[in-house]
Amino acid sequence: MSRLYIMRHGEAAPGMPDSERSLTKQGEMESRAMGTWLDNMLANDVRTTLRIVASPYRRAQQTAQWMATPLGCSVETLPIITPEDPLEPLIDWLQQEAAHTPCLLVSHMPLVGALVGRLVEGDMRASQPMPTATIATLEADIWAAGCATLKHWQSPRELLG
């Protein structure tokens, strides 16, 4: 059974180009709170093998760094997880790279919502709402449409009050 943590980046400021938008102070607080939460939730064996993979966009990289710091992990960049990227190459990547290794994927809407919907419900039109800095924890034997179970849903709003 493999575990995948799918996270939307923290709140970001408006601006152009989209790829250069930065986290707001609120986005930093959300990301820091979620990093602490995940650090407290993970078993030691998961923490030592966790891969953190982020979109190349600035706000996702910043969020991933806030997640990596308490976990003592490094951040990898995955170019195929920007907001409008198709899911099929990502699902192929998950089947190869995340089959036996827990992975935290930090990306954007609509990609993260569509990925959760596809993996859990199996429907190409399914999408899960994902507020900023929310993490959906999925488990599966294989990363394919309709094969995952949503195990946990955590929003920073519950942590920050």
For the entire predicted model, the pTM comes to 0.96
pLDDT level of residue 161 (50, 70, 90 thresholds): confident
**Mean pLDDT, the chain, integer:** 96
d(CA 127, CA 119): 10
pLDDT digits (tens, 9 = 90+) for 38-69: 999 999 888 899 999 999 999 999 999 999 99
Average pLDDT over residues 67-83: 96
Instruction: Output the CA angle 7-107-136, nearest 5 degrees.
Output: 20
Average pLDDT over residues 122-150: 94
d(CA 150, CA 13): 30
Q: What is the pLDDT of residue 145?
A: 95
d(CA 11, CA 25): 8
pLDDT digits (tens, 9 = 90+) for 104-130: 999 999 999 999 999 999 988 888 899
Q: What is the percent of the chain where pLDDT is above 90?
A: 89
Q: What is the pLDDT of residue 125?
A: 85
Average pLDDT over residues 59-88: 97
**What torsion do the CA atoms of 155, 87, 127, 160 make, to the nearest 10 degrees?**
10
d(CA 37, CA 92): 29
Query: What is the helix (H) or strand (E) element at residue 70, kind and residue range?
Result: helix 58-71
Instruction: Output the CA angle 24-64-136, nearest 5 degrees.
Output: 95
Average pLDDT over residues 12-25: 97
Q: What is the pLDDT of residue 126?
A: 86
